[in-house]
Amino acid sequence: MSNKIVLGYDDSEAAKSALAFAVSLAKAQGAELVIAHVLDWSPYSFLTPEEIEQRHKRRAEELKRAEDALLAPVRKSLADSGVTVSTELKYGHIAETLIDVIKESGASHLIIGRTGHSALSSRLFGSVAGTLAQAAPVPVTIVP
């Protein structure tokens, strides 16, 4: 069994708690940590002609921003932690894409933060954490 942990990461407070938890767990287990950030995206959404024209440029900007503001600082902060860390940056449906990352990396554990959606929006659309708890192929830890 592989010894990899996937952490679903964004800029929320819960994600920071989840990061701290994941790092301590990875240290204790001698596991590798895969930190994944997913930019919410559907190929079936509707765009204006102008948005379509600018899309390639925007995508490059979005990827750069996520890398610079989110993933690079995390890698830097964990450089001396003794944990092997890699990062993944992807577009897609958040829960589905995290499941893809788990399958590709062969990880055995998923850690995510519990983000604070309003009760109404969670009821209507389901929360990412809830979906993953039900659909992920590996054990899931949800950090409050």
Partner 1 sequence: MSKSIKAAALSAPLLLAATAPAMAQSVDERVNELFASSTGWFVNLIFSPFPGTSFPWIVAWLVVAATVFTIYFGLIQFRAFPHSIALVKGDYADPNDAGEVSHFQALATALSGTVGLGNIAGVAVAVGIGGPGATFWMILAGLMGMASKFTECTLGVKYRNEFEDGHVSGGPMYYMTKGFAERGLPMGKFLAVLFSVFCILGALGGGNMFQANQAHAQITNVVGQYPGWITGVVFAAVVFAVIVGGLKSIARVTEKVVPFMGIMYVAAAIVILGMNADKIGWAFGQIFEGAFTGLGIAGGMVGALIQGFKRAAFSNEAGVGSAAIAHSAVRTKEPITEGFVSLLEPFIDTVVICTMTALVIIITGQLIQDPNTGLYLLDEGASTIQTIDGNKGVALTSAAFSSAFGWFQYVLALAVILFAFSTMISWSYYGLKAWTFLFGEGQTTELVFKVIFCIFVVIGAAANLGPVIDFSDAAIFAMAVVNIIALYFLMPIVKKELNSYLSRLKSGEIKKFV
Q: Which residues bind partner 1 (CB under 8 A)?
A: 39, 41, 43-57, 59-60, 62-63, 90-92, 100
Shortest distance, CB of residue 114 to partner 1, whole angstroms?
Answer: 25
Sheet holding 140-143, edge to edge: 85-92, 32-40, 4-8, 109-113, 140-143
Helix and strand numbers (H, E) in the chain are: 6, 5
Beta carbons within 8 Å of 82's beta carbon, 6+ residues apart: 27
Give the nearer residue to partner 1 in terms of CB position, either 75 or 90: 90
The residue assigned the tokens 């940590």 is: 33
Give the nearer residue to partner 1 in terms of CB position, either 1 or 49: 49
Give the nearer residue to partner 1 in terms of CB position, either 8 or 31: 8
Shortest distance, CB of residue 26 to partner 1, whole angstroms?
Answer: 27
Shortest distance, CB of residue 137 to partner 1, whole angstroms?
Answer: 18
Give the nearer residue to partner 1 in terms of CB position, either 60 or 79: 60
Q: How many other CB atoms are there within 10 angstroms of residue 120's CB atom?
A: 8
> What DSSP character marks residue 6?
E
